[in-house]
Amino acid sequence: MRVTVLGASGRTGIHVVRLLRGRGHQVRAGLRSRRRAEEVAGLGVETVVADVTADAEDLVEALAGSEVVISAIGAPDPDQASVDLVDRDGVITAIRAAEKAGVSRFVLLSAQFADSPDQGDRLVRSILMAKQISDSILRRSSLNWTIVRPGTLTDDQPSGHVKIAGHLEPGRVSRADVAAVMVATLEEPLTENQGFDVIGGDIPIPSALASFS
């Protein structure tokens, strides 16, 4: 598949890019600016400026020709204005651009409790509320969508094992394992038009996705 990764130079996005390349997909690394190109240099991928906070028409052009968009974008800091700009408005811009560009599949990195912010940690509730809005826009879009809601992200080594369900108890999960889940959804029809939580667990990722319902 031809896949554009938004947030490709981020701590989760870079894992997504590497895994896609390893599976033989054609990868376009979407970056907020050319200055970030060196962060994906050497991975054998095309780079394109895809700033979700800039001109929407430029983003349509950046996504043109892609079959799939995987969004791993997130606000660089927890300031509410930044969160609203990126996690809410930026993701919505990306969704609308994907529709206009003729993209068929959109996989979105969200967060656990984004579907029920009042049940999440009070310290991040405003972030969850921003994500809830963009998640709901994706669900109502014309795209074939998947929303991945990980628990607290860590930079631990990948285990290849997780726990997946519509709703789970609070937990932690490595960015590398979340990236592997996002990439694996492209090969698992059961994840189409579905949203689910993912935390660390003991089930191999392909099996966890195949048993999801």
pLDDT value, residue 69: 98
Residue keyed to tokens 């935390």: 199
Q: What's residue 182's pLDDT?
A: 98
Per-10-residue mean pLDDT, the chain, length 213: 96 97 95 83 90 93 97 90 96 98 98 93 88 98 98 97 96 98 96 97 96 75
Report the number of distinct structural domains present in the chain: 1
Query: Which amino acid does the sequence have at 127?
Result: I
Q: Do 5 and 30 contact (CB within 8 A), yes or no?
A: yes
CATH label of the domain that carries residue 195: 3.40.50.720
What integer pLDDT is reported at residue 44 of this predicted model?
Answer: 87
Give pLDDT, residue 9: 92
The pLDDT value given to residue 156: 97
Smallest CA-to-CA distance from 198 within 118, 77, 108, 119 is with 108
**Domain span including residue 24:** 2-210
Q: What is the DSSP string of 72-135?
A: ----SS--HHHHIIIIIIIHHHHHHHHHHHT--EEEEE--TTTT-GGGS-GGGHHHHHHHHHHH
pTM of the model: 0.96
For residue 213, what pLDDT is reported?
A: 61
| Closest to 143 (Cα-Cα) out of 100, 113, 182, 186 | 100
Count Cβ atoms below 10 Å from residue 37 Cβ, excluding itself.
15
